Amino acid sequence: VTALPPGFAAAGIHCGIKSSRTKLDLGLLAAAAPRPAAAVFTRNLLLGAHVTVSREQLARSKGMVRAVLVNSGNANCATGAAGIADAHRIIRHTAELLGCAPEHVLFWSTGVIGARLPVDTIADGLPSLVSSLHEDGADDFARAIMTTDTRPKVHTARSGAARITGIAKGAGMVHPDMATMLGFLLTDALVPDPAAALRDVAARTFHCLSIDGDTSPNDAVLLWSSGAVDSAGALPELRAAGRSLCRAIAADGEGASRLVTIVVRGAPDEGAAARVGRAIATSPLVKTAIFGRDPNWGRIVAAAGRSGVALVTERMRLAIGGAVVFSEGRPHPAAEASAHRHLAESEEVLLELDLALGAGSAECWTCDLTPGYVEINASYRS
C-alpha cells in the first residue's frame, strides 16, 4: 500500500469513461482543508480545457487546493467553450459533495483529444468516488489516471519527520516541455514557496524526460503541501520524488524495453547540459540503436552535435555502461564488447557524456524506440 502524507486521502473508481470495467478511470485526491499548491502546465498552445480552468482556479484560490479530480480516457481538449463549461459543471458538483467552494477543486483530464467529456457518466460516479476517499487510496488513484501506461507510478519518501508521496502517469507524447503526463507531489512538509520549489523540481526532472519528443496539450504537475511539518522545504526529497517518477515513466514508455539514463557532465552550465542530454534523449537513431543493443557512439555524439551547445568533439568522452567508447575525437572499438554486454543485459542503460568544458551537469531519461511504439501509436487514437 502506498502511504499518503497525513492530511491527504485518495480514491479511484471505474465510472464508465473507459469501456473495460476492470480499468479505473476517475480518481480523486483530497486534503482535509484547502492547502497550498502550485502547478506547472504544458507549453503546448493547444490546451486541454483543464489547463485553462486550473489556471483560473489557482489564481482565484491563491493556490489553496482542497481536491484534485482526474479522469482518464478523455482529454477534454479541442472541445472549445463547451469543454470549459463541462469542466466547470463537474467541478461544481465535486465541490458540493466535498462541501467546499468550487475554486478549491481542480479537475484534470487525460486521454483522447477532441471528444466531448461524458459529463453525466462522470457526475454519476462522483458520489461513490467521494465516499471512497481513504488514506490508503493512493494506489487506486494511481491506477485511475493511467492511459497507455502498463503500470502505476508511485514514489514515497521521508524528509525528516515529513512524508512525500509522488504519483504520476505518462507513457507517450512525453517531452521536456511536458506531455501526456500528469504528476502529483504531495507532502506534509511546510514548503514556503511551492511555485519556486516546483519550478526547481520540474527543471531538474519533468523537463528532462522524453519518450518521443511530442508534447501534449494536457500535461500538468502539482506540488501540494499540507504544511503540517516544518522541515525546511524538503527540496532534495521533492527533487528525488520527481526523478523517481520520471524514471518510472521512461521505463514504462510506450513499447519500451529499456530505461535510458543520460548523464551529461562538464557542460558550460546546467542549461547546456540539459540541452545536450535532451538532444540525445530525443534522437530516434540513438533510441533505435539501443533497441538493437548496438553501442552506436556515433549516433550519440552526432545527437550531441546538433544540440545547439558549442561543444568540442575532441574533448568529449562518452561511456556506455561505464565503457569509454569515444574520447579524444575517436572511437575505441575495444570497449564496444563491454558496452554491448551492458545494452544486452541491463534493464537500465547508462550513457555518460563528459564535455570537458565546464561544471554544468544534468540527468535526462528516455527509453528505446521499438516496433512496439509504432504499433501502439499506429492504432491508438490519442
Catalytically annotated residues? 180
377 touches a copy of itself by CB under 8 A = yes
Candidates 71, 205, 216, 225; binder of a copy of itself (CB under 8 A) is 216
Under DSSP, is residue 98 helix (H, G, I), strand (E, B) or coil?
Answer: helix
Which segment (123-131, 146-154, 169-177, 227-235) binds a copy of itself by CB under 8 A? 169-177
Query: What are 167's strand-pairing partners?
Result: 154, 184
Residues 29-88 that bind a copy of itself (CB under 8 A): 43-47, 77-80
Closer by beta carbon to a copy of itself, 27 or else 213: 213
Q: Is 360 in the site for a copy of itself (CB under 8 A)?
A: no
Tell me: does residue 112 bind a copy of itself (CB under 8 A).
yes
Task: Tell me the three state secondary structure of residue 164.
Answer: strand
By CB under 8 A, tell whether 1 contacts a copy of itself: no
User: Which is closer to a copy of itself, CB of 236 or CB of 292?
Assistant: 292
Which of these segments, 122-130, 221-229, 328-336, 337-345, binds a copy of itself (CB under 8 A)? 328-336
Instruction: Say if residues 121 and 15 touch (Cβ distance below 8 Å).
Output: yes
Displacement of CA 66 from its chain's centroid (Å): 22
345 binds a copy of itself (CB under 8 A): no
Report the phi/psi class of residue 264: left, alpha or beta, with left for phi > 0 and alpha for psi in -120 to 50: beta
Q: Of the candidates 173, 160, 150, 76, which has an alpha carbon nearest to the alpha carbon of residue 118?
A: 76
CA 306 to chain centre: 25
Per-residue DSSP letters for 11-28? EEE--SSSS-TTS--EEE
Residue in this structure with the C-alpha cell 491527504, named with its chain if needed: 8
Per the CB < 8 A criterion, the answer to whether 137 and 9 are in contact is yes
Question: Which of residues 1, 21, 330, 345 is near a copy of itself by CB under 8 A?
Answer: 330
Nearer CB in complex with a copy of itself: 46/337: 46
Determine if 379 is a binding residue for a copy of itself (CB under 8 A). Answer: yes
370 binds a copy of itself (CB under 8 A): yes
Q: Which stretch binds a copy of itself (CB under 8 A): 9-17, 155-163, 228-236, 325-333?
A: 325-333
